[in-house]
Amino acid sequence: MKVSRLLFLRLIAGGVGFFPSLTAAIFLDARQYGLGATSFALAMMIVGPVAQYASQGYMRALLLPDRAQIPASHIVMVFMSIVGMVMAGLAGTGFASPTGALIFALAVFSILLTKLEEVRQIAHERQMTSVLLFYILPPSITSASFVVSALMRWPLRWQAIAIIMALAYMTPALLSLMLRGSRPLAGAMTIDRRQIRLLWLESRTFLFSGIISSATENMPTLALTLLGAPQRVATFEVVRKLSSAISVFLHGLAIAYSPRIITAAANNDMPMVVKIIRQNGRLSALFALIYIPSAIAGVVVMGMLGWKTLVIPVALATPLFLSAIVTCAASPFGLAVTALHQERWWVIGGGIGFATFCLTLSLIQMLGVMETVALAVLFQNTALSATITLVVRRMIRQRLHATA
């Protein structure tokens, strides 16, 4: 398969996504960055359910005119009203500072607007623009801001770091709105009770899976801070993003193979489904053989550079790179989940993985905070991947026997 320009751009995006945590580890105060990144990760987790609806239900509504059409401004208005009331309550009762509540609300608004605009760009067949705006621009702005602050000797506290990350997310959303000739909250004041009910009915099936997936993605950062090690967030993220950048390539493969495997499954052509899974598996393995040794070499080189703020223990790197190998092995089967209409297993597997993550944290006294969280990521990913792999293999066997 020829690597398309879109896939190449996604590979670049995966590399660029590594730089904010690297520049933070080198130039910023480790504790302040950890607290700022944790605040932003919490905002990402809160927006996760709506982002899941946006990428599936809202996308479907944009592509199919016969579906209920819900303006993006209504989604923003309803969700931000809920977040605003909660944050006002926390600030009023002393559980959160007014400044912290405002920064958190800004981060939530930025992420929400960005997720909705990304979906609109993709729905208009502007995938290249989407990758440039939403995957390359935000980490580039964040990294540049960290470097400039260090060169100008501006000490950044966690509040400033969280604001920088929020504005870096908001910038591409505003650019996207400008390109489309739209306004952020156009039509927001036309919302009524009937439309709120319609939004709930259209989105509720996506919210639970969104909670699971967003918790899975952001729990490591939150866990490090909650367990008293925010100063280790930057180092952890450097290794995690370097090891997981392979997911960008796997996502590109999934996009390329999805139409074929969905068509084959719809026609009950199980031999073709098996063939596509094997083709995808060979490409995943080939890329893993090239990328993972290179990434490990990168970690070794960073360790040899002697940056005092970036010490990478073997006990941290090993589980995270093993997790990347698990992802490569399971991704061909994950490709078939939607084609076989087994989406509920993403929720079930995600729930099992999340429970495994939490149970693994009991080893903290034995291994240390950062090392335990890394091991928890490995076990969590293994539980999810094993669930998906076993379910897909079983479904394929059943259909093959039924058609034999």
Cβ count within 10 A of residue 337: 18
Distances (CA, A) of 390 to 35, 182, 219, 334, 393: 39, 46, 25, 11, 5
- Pair 152, 122 in one domain: yes
CA–CA distance, 24 with 147 (Å, rounded to integer)? 8
* Residue 169 lies inside a defined structural domain of this protein: yes
- Pair 141, 289 in one domain: no
Which positions ≥6 away from 157 have C-beta within 8 Å? 32, 36
* Residue 197 lies inside a defined structural domain of this protein: no
* Residue 138 lies inside a defined structural domain of this protein: yes
- Pair 14, 50 in one domain: yes
CA–CA distance, 187 with 195 (Å, rounded to integer)? 12
**Which residue range is the domain that position 168 belongs to?**
1-191
- Pair 17, 163 in one domain: yes
Residues, the chain, total?
404
- Pair 266, 365 in one domain: yes
- Pair 215, 259 in one domain: yes
- Pair 135, 21 in one domain: yes
Joined together, the tokens standing for residue 13 give 């995006």
Cβ count within 10 A of residue 281: 18
Query: Which of 340, 343, 357 lies closest to 397 in space, CA to CA?
Result: 340
Task: Give the largest Cα separation in the chain, rounded.
Answer: 71
pLDDT at 186: 56
CA–CA distance, 120 with 114 (Å, rounded to integer)? 10
- Pair 269, 398 in one domain: yes
pLDDT at 363: 92
* Residue 199 lies inside a defined structural domain of this protein: no
* Residue 305 lies inside a defined structural domain of this protein: yes
Domain boundary among 159, 191, 223: 191
* Residue 279 lies inside a defined structural domain of this protein: yes
- Pair 30, 164 in one domain: yes
pLDDT at 137: 94
Domain boundary among 150, 169, 191: 191
Rounded to two decimals, the pTM is 0.79
pLDDT at 3: 47
Domain boundary among 191, 218, 250: 191
- Pair 264, 213 in one domain: yes
* Residue 198 lies inside a defined structural domain of this protein: no
pLDDT at 352: 92
Domains held by the chain: number: 2
pLDDT at 194: 67
- Pair 106, 247 in one domain: no
Query: Which of 292, 275, 280, 402 lies closest to 329 in space, CA to CA?
Result: 280
- Pair 168, 227 in one domain: no
* Residue 342 lies inside a defined structural domain of this protein: yes
Across the chain, which has 404 residues, the per-10-residue mean pLDDT values are: 63 81 89 93 86 66 61 67 77 80 90 85 76 90 95 92 95 88 60 63 64 81 91 88 77 69 81 87 83 78 63 82 88 80 81 92 90 94 93 88 74
Q: What angle do CA 169, 171, 174 make, to 5 degrees?
A: 115
pLDDT at 169: 92
pLDDT at 386: 94
